[in-house]
């Protein structure tokens, strides 16, 4: 039996994740998607896997998409109205994956 993995990941992790899954022999389809909340681009990967390979695929996703902190520049105005836009570093959490695992009732190539 098979499972279908739907994994929503950050664009910056997507390329490495596709390569890592392909290297291990998984079939992958990559879709350009948009998150409903942030209205920003993200990437959705779909991958059909044999039941016994599910844990291996999930561990690849977890390894590549581990959430981590990143320092980025913010340009929020400082000093109130008419203030100067001074870039300053802020810490943001990036990475992570939202993963759904579905039962596959049929897998056909016709
Ligand atoms: P995550 O929960 O890690 O979700 C990342 C992306 O995964 C989402 O992007 C969406 O594209 C997808 N996703 C998450 N849960 C889903 C579900 N149940 N069904 C289908 N797709 C799902 P965004 O919607 O742009 O959300 C980006 C991040 O914003 C979320 O990260 C979460 O940290 C935050 N967020 C989302 N909705 C929120 C809300 N109503 N209030 C506060 N923060 C929210």
CA of 79 to the centre of ligand 1 (A): 32
Helix (H, G, I), strand (E, B) or coil at 15: helix
Return per-residue pLDDT of the chain as tens, 110 residues.
999 999 999 999 999 999 999 999 999 999 999 999 999 999 999 999 999 999 999 999 999 998 888 887 776 666 666 667 778 888 888 889 999 999 999 999 99
Which residue owns the Cα nearest ligand 1 atom 34?
Answer: 37
Nearest atom within ligand 1 for CA of residue 34 = 11
Q: Is 79 left (phi over 0), alpha (psi -120 to 50) or beta?
A: left
CB neighbour list of residue 42: distance below 8 Å, 6 or more residues apart: 8, 9, 10, 11, 33, 34, 35
Q: Please report the pLDDT score of residue 94 as a whole number.
A: 82
pLDDT for residue 75: 66
């Amino acid at each position: 039996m098979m499972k279908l993995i739907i994994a929503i990941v950050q664009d910056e992790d997507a390329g490495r994740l596709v390569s890592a899954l392909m290297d291990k022999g998984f079939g992958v389809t990559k879709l350009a998607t948009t998150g409903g909340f942030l209205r920003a681009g993200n990437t959705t990967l779909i991958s059909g896997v044999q039941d016994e390979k599910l844990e291996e695929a999930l561990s690849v996703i977890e390894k590549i998409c581990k959430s981590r902190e990143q320092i980025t520049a913010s340009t929020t105005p400082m000093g109130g109205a008419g203030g100067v836009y001074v870039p300053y570093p802020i810490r943001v959490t990036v990475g992570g994956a939202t993963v759904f695992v579905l039962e596959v009732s049929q897998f056909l190539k016709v």
